[in-house]
Chain A
């Protein structure tokens, strides 16, 4: 499903170019959940951003569902993010001026895949039924992250990319959110690539990939 090969990326810095990813080869199948771990600066988030079409690699290819998405232009990459990928961020990134119901349906409507029944099931499963008319600023961190998960899953993307989705939450809330995320992605048959620092959380996913110095070491 997601096929990454020879992916290289470097950034400019005051000390000269820094190579963040050094020829990454990686594969993710449909319905599979993979934890991407490693030390800070190992390239986890960069890999996630490249896979999500937020950034362009210097070399290598990214292929999703048989289609090469490496060198898409800005408009095509926007379409890729809209129709193929769902992203969950550590900072939630909800739209502050929309209420919970509108936030959840937002990506799905944008992608033209709004399914009220599926959204209702998600809202129920995420325990957001009583919060639908609230605004993000009126929610706790855990509640906001549940809305972010709901927004991503409501759009039914084939690939879910999560960048430390529980990083801002306490352990119990984090576990709860992860349980929901795994349950829902598995039940919908979605592929999940999740960046996390926590070995404990990583162990709960199907597979674990460790990055070190821009290379996959395990």
Chain B
């Protein structure tokens, strides 16, 4: 590689600073969005892994009950007697007032080394930990929240996630009232356990191998897949920009390539120089992209953390740490992306015979064959999407359908637009109009990448917007039904709760206990709620399917209601018998919608709940009160019971909180939507700029025939707007298709609930206005350049010197 030849090659960019900025920004934007999203995912996953490592000890092999129930202490004793190096763990939810703790009881004397948390250690700490009064080891935040609310001493550990606590197994057994049964058995590292040997001792136990994905990681997979899909979409749109910019730069330098080769630069050397040049640019813009990605991730992380907490109850820190692997992966993705976007252009250079005269606009020319091939691939992808909808299932299939749909329509767009423009041009009689449409059609190959990017961004916006708005409308309606009680009150302890139960009747219209226990149903841990026999439920509760007398069956103790997640996830049906813990057998009487809850849920009659689960915590109540008396009842509760204001929540406040959680949840999606649209706007700008650089020979003859430069500029403006409008119109059905896939396939697979799709044309108009603004901004410079072209510049087209 020659230094002087390389200098000649890159001197091109000195003369084209805007084009250079486009290329650098294209790669940087693509890298930023991709690495930003990856950083968020990596941070969240690292957090799950940390939590799983500490709380679930998932780095160790474990023995768990096959049916999801509990392990009798006798089984543990037998295993120990037979020489099995296992240690018992009890896990369950423990309530302290309004705080829900994930309590984990371990036996520090038999626990494998290194699996405990830091303050246990040896000596005095250990003695305190296993003492009768015991200790709770919690995170600093949880310690602050529990201060003065528990009568057990608290020890603080930084390695624990919030709302979790470690205790000695005897303390956990007492607090969770497990009466000697354990949740799982942890196997010492290095001990091999055979399934056959285990089956011989207790066939009810099964082996959970070390390193299995934590539950929360599995649950949140769909959320992260969603983010990745957005990041990937932006990355692809960014690559369109790179493709346009490198394509133009190679096109503009064709003559230079020929000259370089004529003066003795070999083809190999030329291509090596071009690859080196692009590698340098990719590295530089990759660095910018990674830094921008870090800031993007930092800005979005609190929203993501909030979403994960709201949707899945996953505790993720709201901050992002700059990790070395980011740099490597960010730069790698910048290089790979640039290589992908420029491969075709390089191939053209490699194949370009030295004697072929430098042809202007070869880049902007796309053969009819290529357009047709693209359309065939697009149609094939749409067919594949249709087949997958019919026969496929699963989250990956859902996202594949989404990808096929988006890419298929994007690939078809240029051909369809070209066809339509051809028809309009043929039908136009007036010469200028005919020229306008024919010329617009001529620009299609050069603009196709930008239009495809715009279509992807707009349809993603419409699709995701429709999904979120449908979700919002349904969620708010559902919230109105679910939060029917006017006041919600939480007692501080069982004595206070008992007083409340005696005091409330007669002062309110109805008392609706909100009592629940955690239990294993169909192999999974879920909440079992009890409902009172009250008209509120019959009138308000959102039942999706059920028997005619669903509430009678539930309150009589014969039937149970299950939530949609459990119904779909376990493929249950109304009328099916359902075995609940403690020997309670019921029949599924109905299914209710339960948006925002990641886990399954069962509702039985309140009396049945009390009978079969006498240990149920009876602290929370919904109160039906005449709205006029709401304030009076609240004041009475405060004065009679000395309840703090935080223990009494009115319906409006609860709805406000729920709505806030909802809006926060979709804040990240909204931000990514806007960013994708911004990248697409930039792709449009880049393509228009590129085109304006090669448009001169096409426009000069029309100018020579009597059109003013101003007219040409207006025509350019109108042309871009026409193409933009056509793309926007095409994006609407595609966006709705996208929303349909999201609502009927992906949401059901990911969350277990299905939402009715609703249409929001006003949202489209708002999006259209924003996109139109972006289009106008993107065309400002190219059109201004055209309007201010000097006649001398136009004349050069007719001079041989050109």
Query: Which residues 56-78 of A have a CB within 8 angstroms of B?
Result: 74-75, 77-78
A87 near B263: Cβ-Cβ < 8 Å: yes
User: How far is B261's CA from A131's CA once the two chains are assembled, in angstroms?
Assistant: 26
Write out the residue numbers on chain B whose beta carbons fall within 8 Å of the beta carbon of A168: 800-801
Q: In this complex, what residue of A is CB-closest to B4?
A: A109
Residue A144 at the chain B interface, CB threshold 8 Å: yes
**Complex formed: what's the CA distance from A102 to B287 in Å?**
32
Beyond A81-B263, A135-B15, whether A96 also contacts B801 by CB under 8 A is: no
Complex Cα spacing A80 to B261, Å: 11
Whether, in the assembled complex, B502 has its beta carbon less than 8 Å from a beta carbon of chain A, the answer is: no
Q: Per-residue 0/1 for B257-280: is the Cβ within 8 Å of any A Cβ (1 yes, 0 no)?
A: 011111111111100000000000
Question: Is B14 a contact partner of A97 (Cβ separation < 8 A)?
Answer: yes
A93 within 8 Å of B (CB atoms): yes
- Contact across chains for B269 and A78 when beta carbons are under 8 A apart: yes
Indicate if the CB atoms of A87 and B262 lie closer than 8 Å. Answer: yes
A114 nearest in chain B by CB position: B4
Given contacts A75-B268, A78-B269, contact A107 B8 (CB under 8 A): no
B492: CB under 8 A from chain A? no
Set A78, A89, A91, A93: member contacting B264, Cβ < 8 A: A78
How many Å lie between the Cα of A69 and that of B280 in the bound state? 36
A89: chain B residues at CB < 8 Å are 262
B2 within 8 A of A: yes
Residue A182 is within 8 A (CB to CB) of chain B in the complex: no
Map CB proximity to A onto B775-802 as digits: 1 under 8 Å, 0 otherwise. Answer: 0000000000000000000000001110
One of A78, A97, A109 near B266 (C-beta < 8 A): A78
Taking a contact as CB atoms closer than 8 A, the residue among A78, A96, A155 that contacts B265 in the complex is A78
Q: Answer whether residue B255 sits at the interface, using C-beta atoms and an 8 A cutoff.
A: yes
User: In the complex, what's the smallest C-beta–C-beta distance from B25 to chain A, in angstroms?
Assistant: 21
Any chain A CB within 8 A of the CB of B194?
A: no
Tell me if B582 is interfacial: C-beta within 8 Å of chain A: no
When chains A and B are docked, how far (Å) is the Cα of A145 from the Cα of B15?
22
Query: Given the complex, which residues of B lie within 8 Å of A135, measured CB to CB?
Result: 15
Complex contact B264–A55 (CB within 8 A) = no
- Tally inter-chain residue pairs, CB-CB below 8 A: 84
B640 to chain A, nearest CB (A): 86
Nearest chain B residue, comparing its CB with the CB of A109: B4
Min C-beta distance of A40 to chain B, whole Å: 16
Measured in the bound complex, the distance between the Cα atoms of B262 and A49 in whole Å is 10
**Central interface residue in A77, A79, A144, by most chain B CB within 10 Å:** A77
Given the complex of chains A and B, what is the CA–CA distance between A168 and B800 in angstroms?
7
Interface contact B15-A93, CB-CB below 8 Å = no
Contact with B along A94-137 (1 / 0, CB 8 A): 11111000100011011100000000000000000000000100
A31 proximal to B (CB < 8 A): no
Q: B286-319 interface mask toward A, CB cutoff 8 Å, 1 = contact, 0 = none?
A: 0000000000000000000000000000000000
Residues of A within 8 A of B5 (CB): 110
Residues of A within 8 A of B12 (CB): 96-97
User: In the complex, what residues of A have CB within 8 A of residue B359's CB?
Assistant: none
Measured CB to CB, the closest approach of chain B to A171, in angstroms, equals 14
Whether B774 is near chain A, meaning CB under 8 Å from some CB there, is no
Inter-chain contact B263/A96, CB cutoff 8 Å:
no
What are the 3 closest A-B residue pairs judged by CB atoms, nearest first? A82-B264, A78-B266, A81-B264
Residues of B within 8 A of A (CB): 2, 4-5, 8, 11-15, 255-256, 258-269, 354-355, 357, 799-801
Can you list 8 A-B contacts (CB < 8 A)? Answer: A74-B268, A78-B266, A78-B267, A81-B263, A97-B12, A97-B256, A98-B11, A141-B801
